[in-house]
Structures are given as C-alpha cells and as structure tokens.
C-alpha cells in the first residue's frame, strides 16, 4: 500500500514535469528565440522531478499546511535561483565565474536542512542563513570582480535587486517555517 502510494505521487510529478516542459518544447519548435537541446530538457526535467520527489518525501509527510507552504516557497526560491543563474546568469551572463558564488546558497540550504533534520525551527534558521548568503554573494563578487573587470549587467543595482528578490523568497519561507514551529 505504501509503495503504491509513493508510485502514485511520483507518477503525478512525472506528469507535472511533462506538462511544464511542453512550453519550452513548443517554444523551441516554433521560435528562434528559445533554443533548447536534449540536454536542457533532461536537466530541467531531472531538477523539476527531483524537487517534486523531495517535496513529497519531506513536506508531504507533514500534516501542517504552513510547513508544506514554507517548504514549497523555499524550493521555489532555490529552483528559480538555479534556473535564472544557469540560464542567463545574475551577474553579467551565465558564463561569468562570479555566478558560481551563488552555489554557496545551495550548500548552506542543504547542510542547514540536514542539520535541522527538516524540523520547522531549524529550517527557519537555515532559510535565514540562505537569505543572508544570497545577499553576501554579490558583495563578495563585487570585491573580487569589480565592475571594470567583468560585466555587471544589468547593473550593480540590478544584481543586488535580483539577489534581493531571491533572498525575499527565502525570508518568506523562513517566516512560514517559524510559524509552523509555533503551531
């Protein structure tokens, strides 16, 4: 029964991922602006499916809606950071080494989550740490790669603004985890 339930949840995520990937497939077929190849679809499919599996295995076990929402917002922030940074880059373009600093956000999130054992209170601190790390990445990049050294497209302000958007998602997730820890 348990295995059947897991297979059903995983099959649901396969369907969701397939539906999501229809949009870039159609764009690739009918537009010259989107140019995905097989590896792009495989990577994005694996990442989306992995997010679904992680959500089901961890948040899916909770009976608290606020915990599930907190987990979903945190995963959304991580996914969007991965996607934007990998596709176009946050600092300049996707090929600039400065963008690798954002990998620290994922490391902080993973290590913090494991230490917290995915408990709401520990996840609150983990997501706050991820938000701080998110905002420290452009500061470190600015010190290491000053604007004349590399392109800071869209602008230094734009890079900090975009980093702030991702940090905000992590803070919202943290606040939801904090609420879940008090319920």
**Residue 168: CB atoms within 10 Å:** 13
Q: Are 127 and 171 in contact (CB under 8 A)?
A: yes
Q: Are 159 and 152 in contact (CB under 8 A)?
A: yes
Q: In sequence order, what DSSP letters do the residues of 83-138 get, joined into one string?
A: HHHHHT-SSSSTT-GGGGGGHHHHHHHHHHHHHHTT-HHHHHHHHHHHHHHHHHHH
In tens, the pLDDT along 119-156 reads 999 999 999 999 999 999 999 999 998 887 788 888 88
**pLDDT for the residue numbered 28:** 92
**pLDDT for the residue numbered 3:** 65
**Residue 39: CB atoms within 10 Å:** 8
> Is the CA virtual torsion 162, 163, 168, 174 positive or negative?
positive
Q: Is the pLDDT of residue 6 over 80?
A: no
**By percentage, how much of the chain surpasses pLDDT 90?**
77
Q: Is the pLDDT of residue 118 over 90?
A: yes
**pLDDT for the residue numbered 1:** 57
């Amino acid at each position: 029964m348990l295995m059947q339930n897991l297979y059903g949840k995983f099959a649901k995520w396969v369907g969701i991922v397939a539906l999501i990937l229809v949009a870039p497939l159609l764009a690739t077929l009918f537009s010259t602006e989107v140019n995905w190849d097989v590896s792009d679809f495989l990577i994005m499919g694996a990442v989306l499916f992995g997010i679904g599996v992680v959500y089901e295995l961890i948040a899916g076990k909770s009976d608290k809606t606020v915990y599930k929402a907190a987990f979903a917002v945190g995963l959304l922030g991580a996914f969007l950071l991965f996607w934007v940074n990998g596709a176009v880059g946050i600092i300049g373009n996707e090929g600039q080494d400065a963008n690798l600093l954002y990998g620290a956000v994922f490391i902080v999130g993973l290590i913090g989550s494991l230490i917290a054992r995915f408990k709401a209170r520990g996840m609150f601190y983990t997501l706050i740490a991820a938000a701080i790390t998110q905002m420290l990445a452009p500061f470190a990049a600015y010190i290491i790669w000053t604007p004349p050294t590399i392109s800071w497209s869209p602008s230094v302000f734009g890079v900090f603004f975009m980093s702030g958007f991702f940090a905000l998602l992590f803070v919202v997730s943290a606040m939801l985890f904090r609420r879940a820890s008090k319920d």
